[in-house]
Structures are given as C-alpha cells and as structure tokens.
C-alpha cells in the first residue's frame, strides 16, 4: 500500500467552512483510506491507499461536500512526491532559521509558466523558486500586504494552497513514522 497526502484548501479559517479533523478522518475511512491521520486543523491528511492521488482528491471532494454542505478543493500527492518536496526545498538555510516564513504552494494543475515572473513582480523582496510542480516562497521580512493581494489561483493557474516549512516537514515525518509509501 502506498502513502498519500491531501491538503484541503480554505477550511477552518475564521470560523467559516468548518471541517473538524475527527470527522475528516471518518470521511477518509469511509472511502477506504487506511490509517488516516491529520495534522493541525487546516486540513492536512496522511494515509495509506492503492488509489491514485488524483482519484482520492476527487472522491474526497465529493464526500466532503456531501458531509459538510460546501465544496472544498482537495490537492493530493503521493508519499514519494512529498519526499521530493522536502528534499527540493530551495531555501534550506532560511527554513532552518525562519520556518514559518518559507512556504510551499501546491496546485491542482502544474503552475503556469508565467507564474514565477508574475509572483516576483507582485511582491518585490520575496524570494520565489519553482522546484518541480511546487512553488516555494521565502519572505525574509515576514508576510507583507503585497502577499495578501496576490490572486494566487489566477497567477498559478488552478486552485492552490500553501503550507509553511514546519508543516511540510511534519507531514514528511508522519509518512516516515508510519512507513507509508
């Protein structure tokens, strides 16, 4: 059985679009996902499965909308993909020194070719790198108002979500601890 990771986008923010993690694990089990585990309330789910990640994402989107009454974009990756993200972080020194200011963005589809240039133009002072299908951002001065104004989905080209380095690393450890994937 292979491991996989799903990231839910835009849940549990400011008391809106509430998806309790215990209920998310129940939904995952109802779809046949093995040993689903969550990390923090932002919708990070690790599990074992033989189902392709994109098929898991579609099934979870349908099940979440049925259970909670609103649509949620689900971005899924294999355990092998996740290990590659951890290994390809282009800002390892910054991640060690300021893990909450190094973010990885993932999207449903590969990022548009113009995304990197547009992101660099939209928020000067950010360090922006692409590694595979992930876009990495280092904010040396912390989050800026420019970051909040960026229309991420438009720039990247499909629904996207981000996680800071601590979360990326913790999800990687969760996969290793259970030897998933």
pLDDT tens per residue across span 94-144: 999 999 999 999 999 999 999 998 988 887 788 999 999 999 999 887 776
Does 94 share its domain with 49? no
- 49: pLDDT strictly greater than 90: yes
Q: Output the pLDDT for position 37.
A: 96
Q: Output the pLDDT for position 146.
A: 67
Does 46 share its domain with 93? no
**158 lies in some domain:** yes
Per-residue pLDDT, averaged over 138-167, amounts to 86
Q: What is the DSSP string of 121-165?
A: HHSTT-EEEEETTEEEEE-TT---HHHHH--HHHHHSS-EEEEEH
Structural domain harbouring 26: 2-81
Distances (CA, A) of 98 to 59, 109, 110, 119, 165: 36, 28, 27, 21, 9
Does 66 share its domain with 44? yes
Number of domains in the chain: 2
Q: What is the DSSP letter of 13?
A: B
CATH of the domain at 21: 3.30.70.1280
Out of 49, 66, 81, pick the residue that ends a domain. Answer: 81
- 149: pLDDT strictly greater than 90: no
Q: Output the pLDDT for position 144.
A: 66
Does 165 share its domain with 91? yes
Which helix or strand (DSSP H or E) is residue 125 part of? none
Could you give the CA distance from residue 89 to residue 129 in angstroms, rounded to a whole number?
9
Query: Hey, what are 94's tokens?
Result: 């910054």
**In this prediction, what percent of the chain has a pLDDT beyond 90?**
76
Q: What is the DSSP string of 20-47?
A: -HHHHHHHHHHTT-EEEEEETTTTEEEE
Q: Output the pLDDT for position 145.
A: 67
Q: What is the pTM of this model?
A: 0.92
Does 117 share its domain with 135? yes
Q: Give the pLDDT band of residue 12 (cuts 50, 70, 90).
A: confident
């Amino acid at each position: 059985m292979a491991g996989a990771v799903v990231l839910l986008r835009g849940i549990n923010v400011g008391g809106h679009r509430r998806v309790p993690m215990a209920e998310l694990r129940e939904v995952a089990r109802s779809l046949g996902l093995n040993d689903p585990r969550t990390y923090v309330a932002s919708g990070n789910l690790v599990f074992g499965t033989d189902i392709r990640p994109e098929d898991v994402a579609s099934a979870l989107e349908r099940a979440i909308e049925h259970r909670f009454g609103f649509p949620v974009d689900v971005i899924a990756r294999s355990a092998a993909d996740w290990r590659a993200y951890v290994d390809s972080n282009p800002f390892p020194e910054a991640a060690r020194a300021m893990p909450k200011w190094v973010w990885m963005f993932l999207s449903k589809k590969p990022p548009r070719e113009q995304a990197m240039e547009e992101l660099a133009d939209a928020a000067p002072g950010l360090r922006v790198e692409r590694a595979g299908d992930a876009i990495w951002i280092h904010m040396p001065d912390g989050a800026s108002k420019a970051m909040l104004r960026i229309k991420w989905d438009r720039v990247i080209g499909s629904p996207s979500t981000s996680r800071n380095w601590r979360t990326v690393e913790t999800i990687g450890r969760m996969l290793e601890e259970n030897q998933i994937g």
